[in-house]
Amino acid sequence: MKKNAIALLLFLLVCGSAYCQPAYKGQLRITNKELSVSSGKLHVSMGISYRDLKLPSDESLTLTPVLQTSGQSLELPSILLNGPLKQKVYNRSRVLSKGKNIQRTNAPSVVIKDDHGSVRHFSYKVQVPYSDWMKDAVLVLRTQECGCNGKPALTTEDKIADAVPAPKVRTSAMSKDIDERYLALGNIITLSQSPDTLNMSRGSISFYGNAKLASLTDDKQDYEIYFRLREAVRSLQSRNGVTVTGLNVTGYGAPRGNYRKNEKEASLRALALKDYLRENYLAGNLPIRVSWVAEDWDSIRTLVAQSDMPLGHAVSDIINTVELTKGRERMLMQLADGTSYRYLRDRIFPQVRRVEYAISYTERNMDTAEGRRLFEMGSRSLKLSEFFAVAQSYPKGSNEYNDAFDLAARLFPDSPEAAINAAAVALSKRDVVKARAYLEKYATLPAAYNNMGILYLLEGNRDKAEVYLQMAAAAGVSQAGEALQLLRQKQ
């Protein structure tokens, strides 16, 4: 009772001194909201009170502030509010996944347990790089229910700010009469690679949809696996400059009766496959590592979440909360008189049976003379590092130098290094449209700061140019220091 009185007093103090904006059916209150722009960053801060929130113990709520216009949007870091029971499930899943390389998409930045004995209020602060489109954006709070217990996962949105304040910007006519010395100050970054680069070729041999392979005895399956691995190894060895250095093979099984028995059989299965591969001289005398996962519940969990199986949420809860050795499979069999388990057995379990492999190899980089010859013949087979080496073998600013960097960016569209270097070439030719297209999605990377600064100079935005150039100079980019000196001479 005393705790509740203190919580009520603190809530009244917060909401009594500032405007409380309701959200999510009036169950949330937004206080002390502030948006500001400085040093190229948008700063967002607010208080969020959930004293009136009626959240069941086994459910959760995700809060996501979103900046949006009619054409663009940006989700800010989200907050997950868990009921007490839901928090226990969340904590248990974290413990079970500890040490496993599990990729989580849209993971919340903060997880909060909805404890009714606490203040039930938190402060939210975040800063993101400011972009011009944000001046026309509104800030909304997107609230998404978990969709637990058979309920629909409803989503609501409440506008909590009408507009983001535009920063004050000093502009100049520099885009027309900029000192030619700035055009040469775009920086080129290199890839740090040793003469022999370690690579990994991965593949999977699935039993799903292959009734013949699945029905073979273990000995005959070993031959099929060996044959396919041999083809993968030979394909790599046929490439010029490639040396295979090792092989990792992992088998994945599905639940089939007693777990401890399955685990023992999986260990014996892995040893038998390893012996077979060695006896048949797969990859010569190279290291071969074979392991086996008796029951691949990680994949089962993912497939269940993606399926439309009966009582999927209940199945997921059992998988996430009941340990393997404490009756997980028995509880699944008992659920809905076995309807869900039969779905698992017939449609989910067969999909996880597979063998995955990873072949490690080194690939010697092509020498620059050969790279230039292939480039001049119009070849597109060079690696990114080879494109960079070829480009830098030509005089800076020559057509070949510019074309090699520009082609690398088009052939490797997901490489920040390729985009940043192509932008430097575009800046040297005053092509701000192309430079911005290359740099836009990498503007927050330190490696791009210098070229972003030069870009803003060409666009006439001195304020932003100085911010980026100062950050680049702090990171040790010599061109940024030169550009700042030139700027100060013009003040």
pLDDT surpasses 80 at 476: yes
- Looking at the structure, give the CATH architecture of the domain made up of residues 176-192+367-489: Alpha Horseshoe (1.25)
pLDDT surpasses 50 at 313: yes
- Residue 127, by phi and psi: left (phi above 0), alpha (psi -120 to 50) or beta? beta
Q: Tell me if 124 sits within 8 A of 47, measured CB to CB.
A: yes
What pLDDT, on a 0 to 100 scale, did the predictor assign at position 176?
45
Greatest distance between any 2 Cα atoms in the chain: 82
Dihedral angle over CA of 166, 171, 176, 177, nearest 10? -150
In a 13 Å sphere around the CA of 290, the CA atoms on its Cβ side amount to: 22
Domain with CATH 3.30.1330 in the chain: 196-362
pLDDT surpasses 60 at 19: no
Instruction: Name which CATH class applies to 2-161.
Output: mainly beta
Helix (H) or strand (E) run with residue 50 in it: none
Q: In what order do the strands lie in the sheet with 196-206?
A: 196-206, 354-364, 242-252, 288-293
Residues forming beta bridges with residue 34, ordered by sequence position? 45
Domain with CATH 1.25.40 in the chain: 176-192+367-489
- 485 CB-contact burial (10 Å; exposed 0-12 / middle 13-18 / buried 19+): exposed
- Give 438-463 pLDDT, tens digit per residue: 998 898 899 999 999 999 988 888 88
pLDDT surpasses 50 at 105: no
**φ, ψ (nearest 5 deg) of residue 39:** 55, 40
Q: What whole-number distance in Å separates Cα of residue 453 and Cα of residue 451? A: 5
65, 95, 226, 70: which is closest to 157 by C-alpha?
Answer: 65
Domain with CATH 2.60.40.150 in the chain: 2-161
What pLDDT, on a 0 to 100 scale, did the predictor assign at position 198?
67
- 37 CB-contact burial (10 Å; exposed 0-12 / middle 13-18 / buried 19+): middle
- Give 31-83 pLDDT, tens digit per residue: 888 888 876 788 888 888 888 888 888 888 999 999 988 888 899 988 888 88
Which residues, 6+ apart, have CB-to-CB distance to 161 below 8 Å? Answer: 33, 35, 138, 139
Q: What whole-number distance in Å separates Cα of residue 100 and Cα of residue 385? A: 32
pLDDT surpasses 90 at 302: yes
168, 439, 485, 437: which is closest to 469 by C-alpha?
Answer: 485
1, 27, 33: which is closest to 14 by C-alpha?
Answer: 33
Beta strands in 296-364 (DSSP E): 354-364
Q: What does the DSSP assignment read for 187-236?
A: PP------SEEEEEEEEEEE-TT-HHHHHS-HHHHHHHHHHHHHHHHHHH
What pLDDT, on a 0 to 100 scale, did the predictor assign at position 287?
87
Q: At which residue do the structure tokens 């995955």 appear?
A: 356
Q: What whole-number distance in Å separates Cα of residue 3 and Cα of residue 119? A: 9
What pLDDT, on a 0 to 100 scale, did the predictor assign at position 66?
92
Helix (H) or strand (E) run with residue 129 in it: strand 121-129
Q: Tell me if 251 sits within 8 A of 257, measured CB to CB.
A: no
Q: Which amino acid does the sequence have at 466?
A: E
CATH code of the region 196-362: 3.30.1330
pLDDT surpasses 80 at 13: no
pLDDT surpasses 70 at 8: no
Q: What whole-number distance in Å separates Cα of residue 22 and Cα of residue 464? A: 36
pTM of the model: 0.44
Confidence of residue 117 (pLDDT cuts 50, 70, 90): low
Residues forming beta bridges with residue 314, ordered by sequence position? none
> What is the pLDDT averaged over residues 317-327?
90
Helix (H) or strand (E) run with residue 93 in it: helix 84-96
Structure-block tokens of residue 190:
């290199």
Q: What whole-number distance in Å separates Cα of residue 107 and Cα of residue 104? A: 6
Q: Which amino acid does the sequence have at 258?
A: N
> What is the pLDDT averaged over residues 119-123?
79
The DSSP code for 124 is E
pLDDT surpasses 70 at 490: no
Mean pLDDT of the chain: 82
